[in-house]
Homo-oligomer: A and B are copies of this chain.
Amino acid sequence: MTKKELVEQIKAKQSFLCVGLDTDITKIPQHLLKEEDPIFAFNKGIIDATKDYCVSYKINTAFYESMGIAGWQSFVKTIAYIPKDIFIIADAKRGDIGNTSSQYAKAFFETMPCHAITVAPYMGRDSVQPFLEYKNNWTIVLGLTSNEGARDFQLTKIDNQYLYEQVLGTVAQWGTEENLMFVIGATQAIELTNVRKILPDHFLLIPGVGAQGGSLEDVYRFGKNKDVGLLVNASRAVIYAGSDENFAAAAALVAKEYQAQMKALMSA
């Protein structure tokens, strides 16, 4: 999916919502456990209910990998089920030496085809480059994450800048605004002004709204650019909004509410 197509979709839906499919077998409604593939049954319900309110699904690979082969089967079925015009992110946080990153890129861009993958920057350029070699896919590199641990290294000061700022500035040179995005946690909204100084034109993937406590208003205020330039993810707040037979309708309501807030922000 090109940047232009993504921006058009955001404008058409008046939404920059990404729904995170962090599907945990211990948290889905009981009645689904009798299904042949409970994880896929749950995801199918969530996708049907939310697809008009979001422009992206972010699939957190850990929740699938923890179930072994059955989990990967659910993953494959889920990406095949997502409507073709919706941006699919494998939230996998992969990254390794070049010949190994090439295998990860193959996994998530060919074998189990997603539009984008999240990648950790610690191993540097040759660990990111193999993902960028796919011309029609996106590499989403961790910048400043939404968790407490972001303070340990990302917010270390190097001369007059934080490590995460060095990461953004350096990694941005390895790709373009057409194939590279960055993860900036919504809990770090105050830093978005700095981020936009370094990356005025890139899309940012913003997790941390909802269960983690980030503010959508602040994210939009400090983070938007001329193309909106944001994908704001909510996972648990949407997918676990309900816990019984009506889980999908409950998820739809929350997703619709996010979309309405986003529409209001985009119209203001």
Contact = CB atoms under 8 A, between A and B. Distances in A.
Interface of A: 22, 24, 60, 62-63, 65-69, 72-73, 76, 91, 93-101, 103-104, 106-107, 110-112, 120-128, 142, 145-154, 156-158, 163, 166-167, 170, 212
A122 B142 contact: yes
B68 A111 contact: yes
A62 B156 contact: no
A147 B62 CA distance: 26
B69 A104 contact: no
Contact of A166 (B112, B146, B153): B153
Nearest to A207: B97
A123 B106 CA distance: 25
26 contacts: A60-B96, A62-B94, A62-B100, A62-B107, A63-B100, A65-B103, A66-B104, A66-B111, A68-B72, A69-B72, A69-B76, A72-B72, A91-B96, A93-B94, A93-B123, A97-B146, A120-B122, A122-B122, A123-B154, A124-B147, A125-B149, A127-B147, A127-B149, A128-B149, A153-B170, A158-B163
B124 A150 contact: yes
B150 A123 contact: yes
Contact of A123 (B22, B110, B123, B147): B147
A68 B76 contact: yes
B125 A148 contact: yes
Given A66-B107, A98-B147, A124-B147, 14 more contacts: A60-B100, A62-B104, A65-B103, A66-B104, A67-B107, A68-B72, A68-B111, A68-B112, A69-B76, A95-B120, A123-B149, A128-B149, A153-B167, A153-B170
A101 B152 CA distance: 16
A149 B126 contact: yes
A145 to B, nearest CB: 5
Count of identical protomers in the assembly:
2
A152 B68 CA distance: 34
A157 to B, nearest CB: 7
A130 to B, nearest CB: 10
B145 A103 contact: no
B152 A156 contact: no
List the 6 closest A-B pairs by CB distance, nearest first.
Answer: A124-B149, A124-B152, A62-B103, A66-B103, A65-B107, A66-B106
Contacts of A121: 122, 152-153
